[in-house]
Amino acid sequence: MKEVDLILPDWPAPAGVRAAFTLRTGGVSQPPFDSCNIGAHVGDELAAVEENRRRLREYLELSAEPEWLTQVHGSRVVDLDAEDAGGVLAPADGVVTHAHGRVCAIQVADCMPVLLAAADGSAVGAAHGGWRGLAAGVLEATVRAMEAPPAKLHAWLGPAIGQAHFEVGEEVRAAFLLADTGATVAFAPNERGRWQCDLYALARRRLAALGVTSVHGGGWCTCGDRDRFFSYRRDGRCGRMAALIWIQ
């Protein structure tokens, strides 16, 4: 069995809930997708993507292929228990399930993946937390779809672009201040008259407002760590990593 390079979340997930985040290493894709590209939509050879995904399934002993979403930076959430998991899922940026064996997956290359697990192990979910999705309410929508009290949820913030490398314009800051004036703490002015945005801080504020207090992870920077992470902002054409969560 080929070993796959992963980050395993350090969080108090209940027994029976498993989660993982893939790194850019340990696969077969050629530059600029080297080497463990999980994304089939970025221009990589499909055979290489399929082999990378096969290795991932085998290494994690998954009983089914992860449910790969068509992500559009919005707030729609797919409930895998309500939709035909074997068919083509409508575009979405959040996914939840209460069933065993179904794998929720989010693909990223700077955006923040947020994994969620009910404390009793009855439900798991994942959200694609780029700035547009966060501002549109993808975390709120995913928490609602979990159908569990927010105080009984655990959240894990996966690798994303760090504040030092994430420069944004005033329109991004304004989008968050419309709903939360306290979000100013997540934006630091720079010498170019723009803002350095802290996605982790924005996610923590939104989760706290929902009542989710068990929040873990954060602190990575995909753009600043070329050896481990793909970064769209740094490289443009590049592969995708995946955050996965499932109930065994």
CA distances from 209 to 31, 45, 117 (A): 42, 43, 18
Structure tokens at 74: 């919005």
Q: How many CB atoms lie within 10 A of CB 151?
A: 11
Residue 160 to residue 152: CA distance in whole angstroms: 25
Nearest to 26 by CA among 65, 75, 60: 60
CB 186 within 8 A of CB 197: yes
Task: Considering only residues 125 and 2, tell me which one the structure prediction assigns the higher pLDDT.
Answer: 125
Is the CATH code 3.20.20.140 the one for domain 6-161+211-247?
Answer: no
Tens digit of pLDDT for each residue in 3-47? 789 999 999 999 999 999 999 999 999 999 999 999 999 999 999
Phi-psi label, residue 47: left if phi above 0, alpha if psi -120 to 50, beta otherwise: alpha
Tens digit of pLDDT for each residue in 172-222? 999 999 999 999 999 999 999 999 999 999 999 999 999 999 999 999 999
pLDDT at 86: 52
100 secondary structure, DSSP code: B
CA distances from 96 to 35, 40, 122 (A): 29, 22, 11
| Beta pairing partners, 116 | 125, 155
| Beta pairing partners, 100 | 247
How many Cα neighbours within 13 Å face the side chain of 3?
3
Tens digit of pLDDT for each residue in 44-68? 999 999 999 999 999 999 999 999 9
Residue 162 to residue 180: CA distance in whole angstroms: 21
Angle between helices 199-210 and 138-146 (to 10 degrees): 40
| Beta pairing partners, 6 | 22
26 secondary structure, DSSP code: S
Instruction: Tell me if the pTM is above 0.75.
Output: yes
| Beta pairing partners, 44 | none
pLDDT at 3: 76
Structure tokens at 170: 């005033």
pLDDT at 89: 79
CB 210 within 8 A of CB 139: yes
What ranges do the domains of the chain cover? 6-161+211-247
Q: How far is CA 165 from the centre of its chain?
A: 18
Q: Which amino acid is at 197?
A: C
CB 167 within 8 A of CB 196: yes
